[in-house]
Structure 1
Amino acid sequence: MNVEYLKAKQTVDRRSYHEHTRKEFLAHLPENPNIFEAGAGTGVMARRLANWQVSKGSYVGVDQFEPAIEYAREQGNKNNTEPGQPNQFEMEFHAADALDFNAIKQIADVPFDAVIAQQFMDLVDISEAMNVFEQLTKQGGLIYLPLTFDGVSIFRPGHPADIDILSAYHKSMDDNVGQHSQTGRLLIDELTQRSGRLLSVGGSDAVIHPVDNSYSGKEKQVIDQILEYIERSVSSDDVSARDDWVQTRREQLSAGDLTYISHRYDILYESS
């Protein structure tokens, strides 16, 4: 993971949000919300909230990746010092473990009106994370979980080794303790069994498709990083065609012929 990759995928994520779930989240926010984000990365969600007309309130974002937090602080300072723009939505960023409740209490006023965890839940134990998030939210508070991966990765055009490669790639996620490649559907099950309300679920697939053999913005870099993840995660001992698959995909990417799709969910939950 690196800051340039996080920046490159912003355009992909921006167009992927499930609109009904996003609107439900905004509709349920109070007028001056205090918001916490787990895995804040480069702080893009804080800036998106401002673009979504969340113009008052406060935001605290945490991430353990310090270079991303440093970048988030720089961008937050720029956005808050634009001439003619009153600063009524306060942002702060901290390098911290988002699932360490005691650490969060040291840096922010708990509880929050809303917790956001974007592209985060597939990296952690979902039950543990939800226990912490419910501690962090007020009664009736919101837990917004957009762009949560759900176990389907697609590359087009097809390749004979696709099934073996992508199955091994997803298995590498499952082999990490507390993580699961099918987090989206498991999260729906988890939240249905909890005492709060599952307010909305919708698809938010990432789709990167070239037009006239060219990719939008820096989205070619996103696919390149995904291919690197797969190459690192899948051994040629496990899938003999790995090297051919990777080489073919990189050639297709260079030629502007490769499409990538990742299946994801946006989920909105109300704490009890």
Structure 2
Amino acid sequence: MSNTDDRFRRYLAAKRTVDDRALDRQVFDRLATEVTRLDEERGERPFRVLDVGAGIGATLERLVEHDVLPAAVEYTLVDRQAANVDAVRERLPWWATDVGYEATEVDSGLRIENEDRWIDIEFAVADAFEYVETSTWDLLIGQAFLDLFDTERAFDALRDGLRPGGCWYFPITFDGGTVLRPTVDPDLDARIERAFHAHIDDGGDSHAGSHLLARASEIDTVLAAGGSDWVVHPRSGEYPDDETFFLRYIVDTIAGALDETGQCDSATLAGWAAARHRQIDRGELVYVAHQLDALGRIPAER
């Protein structure tokens, strides 16, 4: 695994605490209610979940830790980066043991179980839009996913994999706000924010959250929606957990993306990034990213 892979995996782990604070609790609670309803309708077969862009499996861990999933589950984690899938394969068994489950390798996947629940976990290195066509799912999850694509097209393609009456859940969906304080230079900061959002829009969608809600309101039932802003700030001059690394990764990602596309002068970007890192060193930097969580249900009849 390359150093770049290692840094990205550490970033995914570091943002777990940031995501935990950010997730909209009303939407998450409604998700638990809908999972119960869907499970009652499934008959004898297991409850089926597809988690796209699954990263290192943080969403599965959260659902298990909060007892959202029913008693019999087939859970598929899909990511197009093999290094992510390798990492989740490695971490899930010891995590399962820590939270009171027994983990057993089965075929190409993993079964975790306790006296109340079993979950068969499959791992797939694949394109999510191709994989979703391989079966039918009760619940589809895509955390921090839709902003990487044209939101409407991506949403339409993914929801087609749901069974009639199935649900989709898209938490931590970026929606057009990146704030770093204190300012380095007001004009430069504003220019970098605009350029970064323009970079996202080159193949993705910097307003994916609101575009998702608009499209979903046309064709599905939006069951719950709410803000899930990332808010990272120092406590007595220090950042909790591994959020210092999280902030450094965000700053480097913004600067690297704009340097690669030539949207800003390299020397100017390097100076801006260095100033932001000094703010992190001093325990001064505050970071806010505006995002939305949304939960919906497709029609019972197509």
- TM-score of the superposed pair, with normalisation by structure 2: 0.82
Deviation per residue, 1:81-118 (Å, 9 max, x gap) = 5459345122222111111147x51xxxx211100000
Gapped runs of 5+ residues in structure 2? 40-45, 103-112
**Structure 2 residue identity aligned to 1:253:** I
| Alignment partner of 1:74 is 2:104 | no
> Equivalent residues in 2 for 1:22-33 (5 A)?
22-29=28-35, 30-31=38-39, 33=47
Structure 2 partner of 1:8:
14
2:114 to 77, 85, 93: 85
Which residue does 1:94 correspond to in 2?
124
Partner Cα distance (1:134, 1:247) in 2: 42
Shift of 1:15: 1.5
2:15–2:246: 8 Å Cα contact kept in structure 1?
yes
User: Contact (CA 8 Å) 1:101, 1:132: kept in 2 or not?
Assistant: no
Match of 1:20 in 2: 26
What is the total number of aligned residue pairs between the two structures?
264
1:28 to partner: Cα distance: 0.7
Whichever structure has more helix as a proportion of its residues is 2
- Provide, for residues 18-47 of structure 1, a one-character-per-residue CA deviation record: whole Å limited to 9, x for no partner: 011111111011335211111010011111
Q: 1:98 to 1:164 in 2, by over 3 A?
A: same
Q: Which residue pairs with 1:216 in the alignment? A: 240
Identity %: 28
- Amino acid corresponding to residue 127 of structure 2 in structure 1: D
Cα deviation for residue 261 of structure 1 reads: 0.6
SS of the equivalent of 1:215 reads coil
Does structure 2 conserve the Cα–Cα contact (< 8 Å) formed by 1:76 and 1:91?
no
The partner residue of 1:59 within 59, 75, 82 is 75
- With 211-220 and 70-79 compared, the bigger mean Cα shift is at 70-79
SS at match of 1:100: helix
Secondary structure of the corresponding residue to residue 128 of structure 2: coil
- Alpha-carbon deviations, 1:198-237, whole Å to 9, x = none? 1111000011111111111111111111111111122476
Distance of aligned partners of 1:163 and 1:49 in 2 relative to their CA distance in 1, 3 Å threshold: same
Find the aligned partners of 1:5 and 1:79 in 2 and give their Cα distance.
Answer: 18
The whole-number CA distance in structure 1 between the counterparts of 2:199 and 2:30 is: 34
Partner of 2:297: 270
Segments ≥4 residues shifted beyond 4 Å: 79-84
Letter in 2 for 1:19: R
In structure 1, C-alpha distance between the alignment counterparts of 2:192 and 2:263, rounded to whole Å: 12
Q: How far apart are the structure 1 equivalents of 2:131 and 2:58? A: 23
CA offset digits 1:220-264 (Å, max 9, x no partner): 111111111111122476368433322211110111111111100
Alignment pair present for 1:171 and 2:198: yes
Q: 1:55, CA displacement in angstroms?
A: 4.6
1:244 aligns with 2:260: no
1:43 maps to 2:95: no
CA 183–33 in structure 1, closer or farther in 2 if over 3 Å, else same: same
1:125 maps to 2:150: yes
CA contact (8 A) 2:146 2:205 kept: no
Name the SS for the 2:183 alignment partner.
Answer: coil
Which of residues 134, 139, 160 in structure 2 aligns to 1:135?
Answer: 160
Q: What TM-score do the two structures reach when normalised by structure 1?
A: 0.90
Of 65-74 and 80-89, deviating more is: 80-89
Cα distance between partner residues in 2 of 1:7 and 1:93:
18
What are the ranges of 5 or more consecutive residues in structure 1 without an aligned counterpart? none
Deviation at residue 59 of structure 1 after TM alignment: 0.8
Letter in 1 for 2:243: E
Contact 1:58 1:89 in 2 (8 A): yes
CA–CA distance in structure 2, aligned partners of residues 100 and 255 of structure 1:
46
User: How far off is 1:80 after superposition?
Assistant: 4.6
Alignment of 1:148 onto 2:154: no
Q: Which amino acid in structure 1 is aligned with residue 9 of structure 2?
A: V
Give the AA of the match of 1:131. D
Q: Which residue of 1 aligns with 2:206?
A: 181
Letter in 2 for 1:46: L
Q: State the distance in 2 between where 1:129 and 1:146 align.
A: 15
C-alpha displacement at 1:188, in angstroms?
A: 1.3
